[in-house]
Amino acid sequence: MSKTDEDLMSAVCQGDHAAFAILVRRHTPKFHTLAYHSLQDRDLADEALQSAFIKLWQRPDSWDGKKSMFTTWFYRVVINACHDLRRTFKNTQSVDESAFDLLLPPSDSEQRVLEESQQRTRQEYYLELAISRLPASQRDALNLVVYSSLPQREVAEILGLSVKAVESLLVRAKRSLRKHIAQYQEENKPLSALKGAL
CATH number belonging to domain 97-195: 1.10.10.10
Q: Determine the pLDDT at residue 87.
A: 83
pLDDT digits (tens, 9 = 90+) for 150-172: 999 999 999 999 999 999 999 99
CATH 1.10.10.10, the chain: domain bounds: 97-195
Query: Given this model, what pLDDT does residue 102 score?
Result: 42
Residues of the chain with CATH 1.10.1740.10: 5-88
> Whole-angstrom Cα distance, residue 89 to residue 176?
24
**Helices 163-186 and 108-132, axial angle in degrees (round to 10):** 130
Report the pLDDT value the prediction gives residue 132, as an integer from 0 to 100: 82
Class of domain 5-88: mainly alpha
What torsion, rounded to 10 degrees, do the Cα atoms 109, 111, 112, 116 define? 140
Instruction: Quote the pTM value.
Output: 0.69
DSSP letters for 75-140? HHHHHHHHHHHHHHS-------GGGG-PPPPSSHHHHHHHHHHHHHHHHHHHHHHHHHTS-HHHHH
Ordered per-residue pLDDT tens for the chain, 198 residues: 789 999 999 999 999 999 999 999 999 999 999 999 888 889 999 999 999 999 999 999 999 988 889 999 999 999 999 999 888 876 444 444 444 444 444 456 655 665 666 666 666 777 777 888 889 999 999 999 988 889 999 999 999 999 999 999 999 999 988 888 777 767 654 544 444 445
